Amino acid sequence: MTATSIAPLPTTARPTKVVVIGGGVTGTITAWELARMGHQVTLLEARQVGSGSSSRSAACIRQQFSTPSTVRGMRYSVQFYDQWHALMGGAESPIRHNGYLFLKDYTADPEAVQATVAMQQEAGLTDVTWLTKEELDEQFPYIESTGLQGATWCPTDGFLFPHIVYNDSAEAARRNGVQVVQGAEVVEANHSNGRVASVITRDGNVFDGDIFVNAANAWAPRLSGICGGFALDIQTRRRYLYFMEGLRDESMGLAPDDVRNLPMTITPRGAYCRPESTHQLMMGWLHFTKPVEADFDDQDRIEPGFGHNAFSGYGMGLHKELSAFVPAVADMGNIHAVTAGYYADTADHNPLIGFDPIVANLLHVAGFSGHGLMHAPFSARIVACLIEAGHNIASINLPDLGSVDLKPYEVDREPARGEAMVI
- Domains of the chain are 17-89+162-233+348-409 (3.50.50.60), 96-157+236-345 (3.30.9.10)
User: pLDDT tens, 360-381?
Assistant: 999 999 999 999 999 999 999 9
The SS3 call for residue 372 is helix
In angstroms, rounded to a whole number, what is the distance separating the alpha carbons of residues 170 and 215? 14
Taking residue 296's Cβ as centre, other Cβ atoms within 10 Å add up to: 12
For the cut 90, the answer to whether the pLDDT of residue 421 exceeds it is no
Average pLDDT, the chain: 95
pTM of the model: 0.96
| pLDDT, average across residues 262-268 | 98
Average pLDDT over residues 29-50: 98
**According to the model, what pLDDT value does residue 277 have?**
79
200 vs 185: CA distance, rounded Å: 8
Confidence of residue 1 (pLDDT cuts 50, 70, 90): very low
- For residue 167, the SS3 value is helix
Phi, psi of 263 (to 5 degrees): -75, 165
Q: 368: closest CA among 386, 382, 350? A: 350
- Mean pLDDT on 205-228: 98
Predicted confidence (pLDDT) per residue in 335-359, tens digit? 999 999 999 999 999 999 999 999 9
- 419 close to 349: Cβ distance less than 8 angstroms: yes
* Residue 264 near residue 283 (C-beta atoms within 8 A): no
User: What per-residue confidence (pLDDT) applies to 378?
Assistant: 98
Pick from 349, 409, 341: which is nearest to 162 by CA?
A: 341
Instruction: Identify the residue with better confidence: 6 or 200.
Output: 200
Q: What pLDDT digit, counting tens, does each position of 303-336 carry? A: 999 998 766 789 999 999 999 999 999 999 989 9
Query: Average pLDDT for residues 123-133, to the nearest whole number?
Result: 97
The CA distances from residue 220 to 50, 224, 324, in Å, are 16, 6, 39
Mean pLDDT of 247-272: 95
pLDDT in tens, 57-71: 999 999 999 999 999
Alpha carbon distance 204, 185 (integer Å): 10
Q: Looking at residue 417, what is its pLDDT?
A: 63
**135-167 residue pLDDT tens:** 999 999 999 999 999 999 999 999 999 999 999
Q: Which of 321, 234, 239 is nearest to 287 (CA)?
A: 239
Is the pLDDT confidence value at 288 over 90? no
Average pLDDT over residues 162-176: 98
Q: What percent of the chain has pLDDT over 70?
A: 96
Non-local CB neighbours of 273 within 8 Å, separated by 6+ positions: 262, 264, 265, 281, 282, 283, 284, 322, 326, 329
pLDDT reported for residue 423: 64
- For residue range 376-399, list pLDDT tens digits in order: 999 999 999 999 999 999 999 998
